[in-house]
Amino acid sequence: MRLFRYPLIGLGLAIAIPIALFLKLCLDIDRQGRADQAQPADVIVVLGARLLPDGRPSDDLKERTWHGVELYRAGWAHNVICTGGPTAGHSSGAAVAKRLAVSWGVPEEQIFLAEDCLITSDEARRTAAVMAEHGWQRAILVSHPLHVYRAKLLFEREGVITYTSPTTTDVDGIVLPWRVYYTVREGLFTVEQLMR
């Protein structure tokens, strides 16, 4: 029996340690979504969200854009970058967000686009390129509260000094099953990105 005890302990640790690390990651994702780190920066980055089939902005994109506009009005940065990818037969998500921001009072010349972005790592690369063109280094990232942790990692990997500002810090207000789903999903996406 003693022969089997140590291999079982090793196997147990091999299973328990990754699970514990993943749970810690999920807690970190939750914690980041509860903190608004907005502070003076060169640019506010409104991360893209899906469009409706007819090309109108989803509620998520409206919330992100509105929050970016509020940060602009508060004077945290004087420029905005909207990100987002193409949509069949319609403007890009970035262009739709820009139109919303203009309609809410942000001058068109202060808004820049990072288009052709299908995933968050694309948004980080394209945004970093736009920022480099203008000599900007510091960005406030605006996104869903359970998305900002991964977005921050990816933007920092591109050399961007990053502060996150979630659309809400009331993570408890997200219905529990959806909160668990999004947190675990973000955890899996984060692990995948870190392994690349």
- Indicate the pLDDT class of residue 18, thresholds 50, 70 and 90: confident
As a whole number, mean pLDDT of residues 73-87 equals 93
What is the pLDDT, as a whole number, of residue 5?
Answer: 61
- Residue 3's pLDDT band, with cuts at 50, 70 and 90, is very low
Q: How confident is the model over 106-158, as pLDDT tens digits?
A: 999 999 999 988 899 999 999 999 999 999 999 999 999 999 999 999 999 99
Neighbours of 162 (CB within 10 A): 22
- pLDDT tens digit sequence for 39-72: 999 999 999 998 988 889 999 999 999 999 999 9
Choice between 167 and 9, residue whose per-residue pLDDT is larger: 167
What span, in angstroms and rounded, lies between the C-alpha atoms of 98 and 30? 29
Residue 89 has pLDDT above 60, yes or no: yes
The residue-averaged pLDDT of 75-91 equals 88
Please calculate the CA angle 161-185-83 and round it to the nearest 5 degrees: 45
What's the CA gap between 44 and 51, in Å, rounded? 21
Distance CA 174, CA 51 (A): 21
What per-residue confidence (pLDDT) applies to 19?
87
All domains in the chain, ordered by first residue:
3-195 (3.40.50.620)
Q: Strands of 138-143's sheet, edge to edge?
A: 111-114, 80-83, 43-46, 138-143, 161-166
In this predicted model, what pLDDT tens digit does every residue of 176-189 receive, in sequence order? 888 899 899 999 99
